């Protein structure tokens, strides 16, 4: 048997195992119950105030193990995460925030900088090994930038859902200077900040009423 045939057999076995894994999952679980949906989305809220209960290293690692399995284009995984929780780190990040957001960030146990690498495509041989997709991006910086930004946003949303799924609260923020944040945390690298997300255990006393949402017919249609 030649090397090519052996590799094809290996890939076929991996595909069969992946398909079985999905079938097994569907046989165990077809949909989330109402309480689970409430926890991650329908009953969840964005938070602005925090208790002093810490977020552990174990919880941060657990969140990432969930996030990394979320879908991205070509499994590109362009997001990079900086979990800011030290006094020094918070002071550096505060330089980038609008004044009204500083207190929200300072008192959160952790503030995640959801960033992205426009040169993510250099890692595609590792992440998408069955076909070389680097030529799609290597000489197309605008395409790489858009792809990295879009998919890191997806991964940031996965992070928020993962945090809620393991019992934490979140509050995303975009009221900051990307330029200042990048200078403070990513100088000398290719990384760029996307958005921030406070993570911890919320002080619910800061909540106000839930704001309105669109109805289906307001924003959805069929063709």
The CATH number assigned to the domain holding 104 equals: 3.40.109.10
Q: Does residue 99 form part of some domain?
A: yes
Q: Does residue 187 form part of some domain?
A: yes
Number of domains in the chain: 1
Q: With contact defined as beta carbons under 8 Å apart, do 115 and 186 qualify?
A: yes
Q: Does residue 121 form part of some domain?
A: yes
CA 12 – CA 138 distance, rounded (Å): 30
pLDDT of residue 1: 55
Count other Cβ atoms within 10 Å, centred on residue 5.
9
pLDDT of residue 5: 74
Per the listing, tokens 């928020």 go with: 160
pLDDT of residue 2: 67
Q: Does residue 167 form part of some domain?
A: yes
pLDDT of residue 4: 72
What are the φ/ψ torsions at residue 199 (nearest 5 degrees)? -135, 135
Selection from 126, 153, 13, 133 nearest residue 72 by Cα: 153
CA 45 – CA 108 distance, rounded (Å): 15
Read off the pTM. Answer: 0.93
Q: Does residue 158 form part of some domain?
A: yes
Q: With contact defined as beta carbons under 8 Å apart, do 181 and 193 qualify?
A: yes
DSSP 70: S
Tens of pLDDT along the chain (223 residues)?
Answer: 566 778 788 888 989 999 999 999 999 999 999 999 999 999 999 999 999 999 999 999 999 999 999 999 999 999 999 999 999 999 999 999 999 999 999 999 999 999 999 999 999 999 999 899 999 999 999 999 999 999 999 999 999 999 999 999 999 999 999 999 999 999 999 999 999 999 999 999 999 999 999 999 999 999 9
Q: Does residue 17 form part of some domain?
A: no
Q: Does residue 157 form part of some domain?
A: yes
Q: Which residues are registered as beta bridge partners of 170?
A: 46, 199
Range(s) of the domain holding residue 90 = 45-205
pLDDT of residue 3: 64
pLDDT of residue 51: 97
Per the listing, tokens 């362009």 go with: 78
Q: With contact defined as beta carbons under 8 Å apart, do 55 and 109 qualify?
A: yes
Q: Does residue 222 form part of some domain?
A: no
């Amino acid at each position: 048997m030649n090397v090519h045939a052996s590799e094809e057999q290996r890939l076929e076995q991996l595909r069969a195992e992946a398909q079985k894994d999905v079938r097994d999952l569907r046989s165990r679980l077809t949909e989330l119950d109402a309480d689970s949906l409430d926890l991650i989305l329908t009953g969840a809220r964005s938070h602005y105030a925090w208790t002093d209960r810490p977020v552990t290293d174990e919880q941060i690692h657990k969140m990432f193990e969930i996030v990394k399995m979320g879908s991205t284009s070509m499994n590109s995984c362009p997001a990079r995460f900086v979990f800011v929780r030290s006094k020094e780190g918070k002071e550096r990040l505060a330089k980038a925030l609008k004044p009204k957001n500083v207190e929200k960030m300072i008192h959160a146990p952790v503030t995640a900088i959801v960033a992205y690498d426009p040169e993510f495509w250099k890692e595609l041989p590792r992440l998408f090994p069955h076909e070389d997709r680097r030529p799609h991006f290597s000489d197309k910086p605008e395409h790489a930038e858009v792809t990295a930004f879009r998919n890191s946003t997806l991964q940031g949303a996965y992070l928020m859902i993962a945090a809620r799924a393991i019992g934490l609260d979140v509050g995303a923020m975009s009221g900051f200077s990307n330029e200042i944040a990048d200078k403070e945390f990513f100088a000398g690298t290719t990384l760029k900040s996307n958005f921030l997300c406070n993570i911890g255990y919320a002080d619910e006393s800061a909540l106000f009423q839930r704001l309105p949402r669109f109805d289906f017919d307001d924003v959805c249609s069929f063709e």
